[in-house]
Amino acid sequence: MKKINLKTIVIVVVMLVVIVLGVVAVTQAKIFMSGATSDIEPTNVSAVSSEDGKTATVTWTSEKESIAKVEYGTTAASLVLMTADSAATTNHSLTLNQLRPATNYYYRIRIGDEVFDNGGMPYMFKTKGESDVVLAVTPTMAVTSPIPSTATSNTKIVCDSKTDYNKDGVVNSFDTATCKSNGGVAPTPVNKKDIDCDKIISDYNSDGIVNSLDRINCLQSQR
């Protein structure tokens, strides 16, 4: 049986001690790092859009004071905009600017080298939209000549003997002619014998002209 060399035993023991110390050191480092991350990890993260949808406020809390920043954008892959705390705090509140109304935005929180993005997927919110105003568009109406006051498309206007149709300041036979040229018709008396033929200013015989023949026809009808 060979005698164990003392030197070999010492070397083996030293190696075992180094290995154990190495394992302990790594474990402690992991615990330390884990504890540090836990202290600054964001909790109660929320984003609230302004009424006009042009800004939003991101808030969260942490156990340990830190200076953080929020990286954001319109897609999860392009968080190119950024805003940051001005001082270390545990109650973080950052305003995101340059936003578009009614748009989805994605963001993550960065503290030092640590990135917090909701478990691998950036946080998301949608900005409020501006009020949709529906304008009633009224088609422009074509300007047309007014329908003569003496006639319409469906109704014939009865020309009376008291209206200055041609607007010359005098009521005479020319007014009746003007009325008729605009589509009016001569009045039909209930009883022709009740007409004063000497004062007639109507196209009594319906020949399109008001003249003395109308008076003659009027007188003949009363015989």
CATH code for position 108? 2.60.40.10
pLDDT tens figures, 119-132 = 888 999 999 986 44
Q: Measured between alpha carbons, how far is 51 from 129 in angstroms, rounded to an integer?
A: 8
pLDDT of residue 162: 73
pLDDT tens figures, 41-50 = 999 999 999 9
pLDDT of residue 142: 38
Quick check: 103 pLDDT over 90? yes
Quick check: 179 pLDDT over 50? yes
Same domain, 117 and 185: no
Residue where a domain terminates, one of 92, 126, 160: 126
Q: Measured between alpha carbons, how far is 122 from 109 in angstroms, rounded to an integer?
A: 9
Residue 166 lies in a domain: yes
Q: Which two tokens stand for residue 99?
A: 């936003």
Chain-centroid distance, C-alpha 154: 46
Where do the H-state alpha helices sit in the chain? 6-40, 173-181, 212-221
Same domain, 168 and 120: no
Quick check: 141 pLDDT over 50? no
Q: Measured between alpha carbons, how far is 194 from 202 in angstroms, rounded to an integer?
A: 14
Task: Report how many domains make up the chain.
Answer: 2
Check if the beta carbon of residue 175 is closer than 8 Å to that of residue 169.
no
Comparison of pLDDT for 52 and 31, the residue scoring more? 52
Residue 21 lies in a domain: no
Same domain, 60 and 113: yes
Check if the beta carbon of residue 84 is closer than 8 Å to that of residue 95.
no
Residue 133 lies in a domain: no
Backbone angles phi, psi at 16, to 5 degrees: -65, -40
Check if the beta carbon of residue 39 is closer than 8 Å to that of residue 62.
yes
Residue 180: exposure state from Cβ atoms within 10 A (0-12, 13-18, ≥19)? buried
Comparison of pLDDT for 174 and 126, the residue scoring more? 126
pLDDT of residue 106: 96
Same domain, 48 and 111: yes
Identify the domain containing residue 163 by its residue range: 148-223
Taking the CA atoms of residue 151, residue 155, residue 161 and residue 165 in that order, the dihedral angle to the nearest 10 degrees is -10
Same domain, 175 and 206: yes
pLDDT of residue 124: 95
**217 Cβ partners below 8 Å, 6+ apart?**
204, 205
